[in-house]
Amino acid sequence: MNEMGDQIRAVVFVIVALIILFAWGHFYKPPIQPPQPAQTSTQEATSQTPANTSATVAKPAQTTDAVAAAGLAKIEATDEKLVAIESPLYVVEFSNRGGVARSWKLKKYSDDQKPPHLLDLVNTAAAQQLGWPFSLVLSDVQLEAKANSALYEVTPDQLNLAAPIEVTFHWSDGHLDVTKKLSFTSDYEITVEVSVLLDGKPIPAAVTWRGGFGDRAVYKAASLVTVYYKLNDKLNLLQYKKLGVSGNQTQPALQNGPMEYLGIEDQFFTAAFLPDGTELSLWHWTQDHGIVDDGNPASEPIAEMAAGTTIAAPLRARQLPPAAPANAPRPKSCRHRPSHRAPSARPATTLRRHRPWRRSPWRLPQCGPCA
């Protein structure tokens, strides 16, 4: 009986203990403190994480903007203006729209108007339709159009300048960057430096003479303009019928160099590019300019050319006064051809304008050595 009573008491004790533990755990569950700080920390970490992420993302964006601002800054003038550069021998007007020559007047020579005006080597009527001298030729026609129509900032910021002076035209849209530096002297010399960058890298460029060249008063003056170049010690003369791609003269034809010299001339004046240390190539073509002849609409061929490099490097050119060798033969009608000019030993790629020839009352061209 006693053993039976002890077993019953043990079972009852276990049951009572389980009941007490269950009741204590159900009715007297203490608050759990650690999870609340953990949640707070998690919330703080969560609230801090986006901030840090934003800061991390913002830094590269700011860096990218800084690089863009430093390397691809947009540079553009607000309005168009003409800059006049004057020396005792010439008055040249450049427009900051395209950085092109709008007029090139010679003070020592006049035209046949009444009253006479200074002789202008730029054919304004043709250039307005076909393009201006000192515009650029680029491999991409869309980039070329931008470069030749943009509003350049000009340094110095003055409208009337006296030679000697250096004038800089600079424009950039953040993608294409063009700089033209023109150094004028008191005589016929100028130095031209052209740099064209695409996304910070140089690309090939050429300087043109568009829109006609020379004295327009000569009968059928446009058809008398000749493009010439000397390659491998051989002088080549290209009249307007030989310019451009065969079958499509309006498409520029490329004549690869290295040239000894190249240029464009009429019966009285010439502009010659003389390279030194730079492989210079020639682009040539024609365009039709609408005119009125005896009251009837007509057209005339305009010879155009460009001198530049086919490599991705800046173009440098110098415009020098001409020289004729002492033993040069006297040509008929005193017309000097490029072969009669003395070679230049001056450094850099050279753009040279022949010294204006004196003309008799019968308009026979007479040069200095032959007069």
CATH of the domain at 103: 2.70.98
Assess whether pLDDT exceeds 90 at residue 278.
no
Domain boundary among 71, 89, 120: 71
Cα–Cα separations (whole angstroms), residue 34 to 24, 26, 329: 21, 20, 110
154: in domain: yes
| 184: three-class secondary structure by DSSP | strand
Mean pLDDT of 46-51: 43
Cα 80–82–83 angle (5° rounding)?
Answer: 130
Assess whether pLDDT exceeds 60 at residue 313.
yes
Q: Which of 27-36, 65-74, 307-316 has the highest mean pLDDT?
A: 307-316
Q: Identify the pLDDT of residue 107.
A: 93
Contacts for 157-161 with beta carbons within 8 Å, 24 or more apart? 158/83, 159/81, 159/82, 159/83, 159/84, 160/83, 160/84, 160/86, 161/83, 161/84, 161/85, 161/86
- Residue 182's domain spans which residues? 81-366
25: in domain: no
Say if residues 288 and 212 touch (Cβ distance below 8 Å).
no
Q: Identify the pLDDT of residue 148.
A: 98
| 30: three-class secondary structure by DSSP | coil
Assess whether pLDDT exceeds 60 at residue 250.
yes
Q: Identify the pLDDT of residue 110.
A: 87
Assess whether pLDDT exceeds 80 at residue 310.
yes
- Do 56 and 144 lie in one domain? The reply is no
- Do 203 and 242 lie in one domain? The reply is yes
pTM above 0.85, yes or no: no
- Do 228 and 323 lie in one domain? The reply is yes
Q: Identify the pLDDT of residue 267.
A: 84
C-alpha neighbours within 13 Å on the C-beta side of residue 179: 15
Nearest to 92 by CA among 125, 124, 121: 121
Q: Identify the pLDDT of residue 4.
A: 58
5: in domain: no
Weakest mean pLDDT among 50-54, 83-87, 129-133, 318-322:
50-54
Q: Identify the pLDDT of residue 27.
A: 62
Mean pLDDT of 164-179: 97
- Do 199 and 132 lie in one domain? The reply is yes
Cα–Cα separations (whole angstroms), residue 352 to 23, 43, 50, 319: 111, 77, 66, 4
In whole angstroms, give the CA distance from residue 243 to residue 209: 14
- Do 61 and 174 lie in one domain? The reply is no
Place of tokens 């492989």: 279
The 3-class secondary structure across 301-342, one letter per residue, is: EEEEEEEECCCCCCEEEEECCCCCCCCCCCCHHHCCCHHHCC
Residue 292, amino acid: V
In whole angstroms, give the CA distance from residue 300 to residue 229: 23
Weakest mean pLDDT among 140-154, 211-225, 332-346:
332-346
136: in domain: yes
104: in domain: yes
Preceding amide of 322 cis, omega within 30: no
- Do 57 and 92 lie in one domain? The reply is no
Residue 145 burial (CB count, 10 A): 12
- Do 51 and 129 lie in one domain? The reply is no
Weakest mean pLDDT among 131-135, 136-140, 219-223, 366-370:
366-370
Q: Identify the pLDDT of residue 322.
A: 38
Task: Provide, rounded to the nearest whole percent, the portion of the chain with pLDDT above 90.
Answer: 47
16: in domain: no
- Do 188 and 232 lie in one domain? The reply is yes
φ, ψ at 121 (rounded to 5°): -80, -10
Assess whether pLDDT exceeds 50 at residue 344.
no
Place of tokens 């039709």: 288
What does the mean pLDDT of the chain come to?
77
pLDDT tens digits, 256-274: 989 988 899 988 888 888 7
- Do 116 and 181 lie in one domain? The reply is yes
Mean pLDDT of 156-175: 96
DSSP state of 190: E
Q: Which residues lie closer than 8 Å to 198 by C-beta, 6 or more apart? A: 143, 175, 176, 177
Q: Identify the pLDDT of residue 33.
A: 55
Domain boundary among 53, 71, 89: 71
Q: How many domains does the chain have?
A: 2
Q: Identify the pLDDT of residue 24.
A: 59
- Do 149 and 254 lie in one domain? The reply is yes
Weakest mean pLDDT among 86-95, 173-182, 187-196:
187-196
Q: pLDDT grade, residue 203 (50/70/90)?
A: very high
Strand partners, 245: 248
